[in-house]
Amino acid sequence: MKTIKDTPGRDEFDEITGCKGKTSRTHKVVFNKEDDSVSYCEKEYPATCNLFKQIMADQYILFCKKQKNYGPGNISVGTDLRTAGDVKLSLTGLWFRMNDKIQRLKQLIILGHKDEVGESELDTFQDMSVYGIIAQIVSAKVWGK
């Protein structure tokens, strides 16, 4: 087994995201040496992996900017996510937001309608990606903490 440290504030994380400074959490990913998919992908598809990392960093910055604007209450619907009902309410709200984005993509991509509101396909994909991560955080009852 091999341990990869994904610790915000360390040089390798800063290089990927451009983020500076230390945070209090350390994330460790453990994977089997014989099934080293990260090394494989980075060797075989370096441009794809580098762009994936850059997009993730950009998504994180977008998330932080929106958090600063909205705060956590828009997602938690004013609850503290203590109960299963609170989590379900929040996830339902996220489902509606994601469904709005799916319908938007349908209009732009499938039906070929031109943009009339200034939200590009890229903006829509970014929002969906961030909502997917937020849903995982809500499910873990860590949202807003």
Q: Are residues 66 and 88 in the same domain?
A: no
Asked which of 70, 94, 123 is the last residue of a domain, the reply is: 70
More confident residue, 24 or 76: 76
Phi and psi (nearest 5°) for 56? -60, -40
Rounded to whole angstroms, the Cα distance separating 73 from 36 reads: 40
Q: Which of 42, 70, 98 is the last residue of a domain?
A: 70
Would you state the pLDDT for residue 38? Answer: 87
Boundary of a domain, candidates 48, 70, 92: 70
Band (pLDDT 50/70/90 cuts) for residue 35 is low
**Residue 117 confidence (pLDDT):** 87
Provide Rg for the chain, Cα atoms: 18
Task: Tell me the residue range of the domain where 37 lies.
Answer: 1-70
**Are residue 77 and residue 13 in the same domain, yes or no?**
no
Same structural domain for residues 46 and 56? yes
Identify the band that residue 34 occupies on the pLDDT scale cut at 50, 70 and 90: low
Question: Mean pLDDT over residues 125-144, rounded?
Answer: 95
> Does 36 share its domain with 88?
no
Q: How many domains does the chain have?
A: 2
Same domain, 24 and 77: no
91 and 60 inside one domain:
no
Judgement on whether residues 53 and 103 belong to the same structural domain of the protein? no
Q: Please tell me whether residues 39 and 106 are part of one structural domain.
A: no
Q: Are residues 82 and 120 in the same domain?
A: yes
Question: pTM above 0.75?
Answer: no
Q: How many CA atoms lie within 13 A of 41 on its CB side?
A: 10
**pLDDT reading at 26 higher than 50:** no
Query: Residue for token digits 């009339």?
Result: 116
Percent of the residues in the chain that have a pLDDT greater than 70, as a whole number: 76
Same-domain status, 2 and 65: yes
Do residues 49 and 104 share a domain? no
